[in-house]
Amino acid sequence: MSERPSSLGHEFSKGILLENPVLRLALGTCPTLAVSTSLENAIGMGVAATLVLMLSNASISLLRNVIPQRVRIPSYIVIIAAFVTIIQMLIKAYAPALNEALGIYLPLIVVNCIILGRAEAFASKNRVFVSVLDGLGMGIGFTLALCCMAVLREFFGSGELTLKAFGHGTSLTALFGLQEGNLLSAIGLEPVTIFLLAPGGFFVFGLLMALVNRLGREKKGADACENNCSACPMAALCAGKEGEV
């Protein structure tokens, strides 16, 4: 039986906002805080993690009826590690500067809670195409969270913003033709270095998490009203049930 288009759309989009792995589920916070000091690093890590998510989800979904239940977690880790190794070798070959910048956090994708969590909670129970969509949506959500943090931290921390991906692109100073200094200095402000340090990372992370949680609650409330809350078995406990919305 084929999946309904609305269901497929939900499986793809849920990871972007409602179930954003970083800002809603608080997974993968270690690489998020570590590599979000520049936009280029954030994009590189996000693309690498998204590819691993999609490939590992597809493989685990294909093998879900073959992998013994008792050794499923070690099996998942072996599959994920294989794809991480391949992607790391490609990055070393074609973007060595990015590989150097990401450092240990690139191979540590193997034990990233987002990837292992999707393998256990979703790919091992669903069909291949739906699992790939889930991986793509979660990967995009992870990448967006990284990029939002990187834009705020890099701009306010250094006054610069590298509009690059895999070594190609430009920067804000080059874009605006500034020979010296940075964009913040050009408008009479000074960079706040703490944004590039750990405390600044936690501060930006907290702000973004609060914003996304607020948006997620509003979206869930709107969906509940549209879907007629009286059909929900928990409607009696919900303040938004039909007739009270």
- Predicted TM-score (pTM) of the model is 0.82
The token duo for 227 is: 């879907």
Q: Read off the pLDDT of residues 1-43 as tens digits, 9 standing for 90 and up.
A: 445 665 888 888 888 888 899 999 889 898 899 999 989 899 9
Whether 74 is covered by a domain: the verdict is yes
Whether 239 is covered by a domain: the verdict is no
pLDDT < 70 stretches in the chain: 1-6, 166-167, 175-182, 186, 219-245
Please tell me the total count of domains within the chain: 1
pLDDT of residue 244: 44
The token duo for 169 is: 């692109």
Strand partners, 169: 164
| Structural domain span for residue 146 | 5-198
Whether 27 is covered by a domain: the verdict is yes
Whether 222 is covered by a domain: the verdict is no
Whether 112 is covered by a domain: the verdict is yes
Whether 206 is covered by a domain: the verdict is no
Q: Are strands 162-165 and 168-171 parallel, antiparallel or unpaired?
A: antiparallel
Let me know: does 52 contact 83? Beta carbons within 8 Å.
yes
